[in-house]
Amino acid sequence: MAHPKHITGVSVAIAALILLVTCFHCVDANYRQQFMAPQNAARSRLRLRPLVWDAKLARYAQWWANQRRRDCALIHSNGPYGENLFWGSGNRWSPAQAAYGWLSEARSYNYYSNSCRAEMCGHYTQIVWKNTQRIGCAHVICDRGGGVFLTCNYDPPGNFLGRRPY
pLDDT by residue (tens digit) across 120-152?
999 999 999 999 999 999 999 999 999 999 999
| 160 vs 72: CA distance, rounded Å | 27
In a domain, 54, yes or no: yes
Q: Do residues 156 and 141 make contact, with C-beta atoms less than 8 angstroms apart?
A: no
- The whole-number pLDDT of residue 11 equals 41
Task: CATH number of the domain at 71, please.
Answer: 3.40.33.10
- The whole-number pLDDT of residue 3 equals 43
Number of domains in the chain: 1
Ranges under pLDDT 70 in the chain: 1-27
In terms of residue numbers, what domain contains 113? 32-155
| 46 vs 30: CA distance, rounded Å | 24
- The whole-number pLDDT of residue 108 equals 96
In a domain, 13, yes or no: no
In a domain, 2, yes or no: no
